Amino acid sequence: MPDDLSLRVTPQPVRRQVEERLRDAIITSRFAPGEHLSDRMLCDLFGVSRGVIREAVRLLEAEGLIHVVPNRGPFVAYLSAAEATQVYEVRAVLEALAGQGFAERASAEEIAELRAVYEELAATRPGSDRLVLLGLKRRFYDVMLRGCRNAYVARMLDQLLNRNSQLRATTLSDPTRLPQTIIEIRRIVEAVERRDRDGAWEACRDHVMQAARVALRILNEQAAMASRAAETAAD
How does residue 160 score in pLDDT terms, banded at 50, 70 and 90? Answer: confident
Fold of 81-223: Four Helix Bundle (Hemerythrin (Met), subunit A) (1.20.120)
> In the chain, which residues fall in CATH 1.20.120.530?
81-223
Fold of 5-76: Arc Repressor Mutant, subunit A (1.10.10)
pLDDT at 97: 98
Task: Please tell me the number of Cα atoms within 13 Å of 187 on its side-chain side.
Answer: 17
pLDDT at 3: 56
The whole-angstrom separation of Cα 45 and Cα 159 is 25
> In the chain, which residues fall in CATH 1.10.10.10?
5-76
Contact yes or no for 148/154 (Cβ under 8 A): yes
pLDDT at 16: 86
